[in-house]
Structure 1
């Protein structure tokens, strides 16, 4: 069996919005896999909790500064974070709809949720093909409703790092406080 190789680069979407997470904050990297985002966020100075069910993938994060790991079955086991809140939550290429209420409740006031995954249409280009693992058009916007301030939302076809086509939906939201986007300047008075 071929050894899994962890992706080296973090998602450009997560790189773009990570600076909005409160400085020195604690971040949850949900369904982190080999931890490409956990590593990136830790390098930015965040304290990262990386959770996944794959113990082998989590083992690659042992010894990474500012990263703690938790092996947990997010779909079949209990939610491990009922008593915790995070300044940032990052989810990439993972969808388990029953977790949305827990994810939203685990985001601290002023915290930032950066979420991206596949949506309907992806089955034309490859996996995942199961509708349970594909967002419906606009679904993330519907889910956040009026609870959060939407910073950015995108959906549709993109060119993946390998040159292939993917159909993605992604959102960045903040709970509470007003948002100032990176590299934005207020209009002159």
Structure 2
């Protein structure tokens, strides 16, 4: 749990960098693990819903301003439990289950911000995960954002060295109603 990638360590620098763009409102920390991002957003004054299938992880994630929800979205017949436009922010790190991608985008408020960071094809050279089912194809997050009508604020695809060497893909995208001036970032930051 304390590995920093998905445990109780420090929040991802990518998520920290763009957290201030999330407008006031509820934030979903999907596959929250030990809650490092749930705590970050709660500290910024957001009500947070931390979702994970692991009861022990949720016990670590719980805290002031954080509601937890034990739910396995990958079991056969599982239904996405959130209505369209509910969340001001959605953060997903080190988790990929492709059938959820369209639902994530739909559950983002029209002025909301999606922060996504996970492993990409090529990560097998660095270790786990190495299963292609858990690795993003080049540009996959960009394609998801475009199909969902989101505006890309920043995108990266490359090797990181912290908390351990890995090949990752990162996206910060916002709904079409988030004012451009509010983001202060009217450009696409690419690193491929």
TM-score strictly above 0.5: yes
**Structure 1 residues 168 and 113: CA distance shift in structure 2, 3 A:** same
Residue in 2 that maps onto 1:16:
17
Superposition RMSD in Å? 1.8
Whole-angstrom distance in 2 between the partners of 1:184 and 1:69: 32
**Structure 1 residues 138 and 67: CA distance shift in structure 2, 3 A:** same
- Does 1:33 find its partner at 2:33? yes
Q: Which moved more, 1:130-139 or 1:81-90?
A: 81-90
| 8 Å Cα contact 2:32-2:61 kept in structure 1 | no
CA-to-aligned-CA distance 1:24-73 (integer Å, 9 cap, x gap): x11000000111000111011110000000001101233x1110000000
Give structure 1 stretches of 5+ with no counterpart: none
**Shift in Å at residue 184 of structure 1?**
6.4
Whole-angstrom distance in 1 between the partners of 2:126 and 2:184: 34
**Shift in Å at residue 137 of structure 1?**
0.6
Give structure 2 stretches of 5+ with no counterpart: 187-192
- Does 1:154 find its partner at 2:156? yes
Length-normalised TM-score, structure 1 = 0.88
- Does 1:174 find its partner at 2:149? no
Whole-angstrom distance in 1 between the partners of 2:85 and 2:157: 30
Which has more radius of gyration?
A: 1
Whole-angstrom distance in 1 between the partners of 2:74 and 2:50: 16
Give the paired residue count: 178
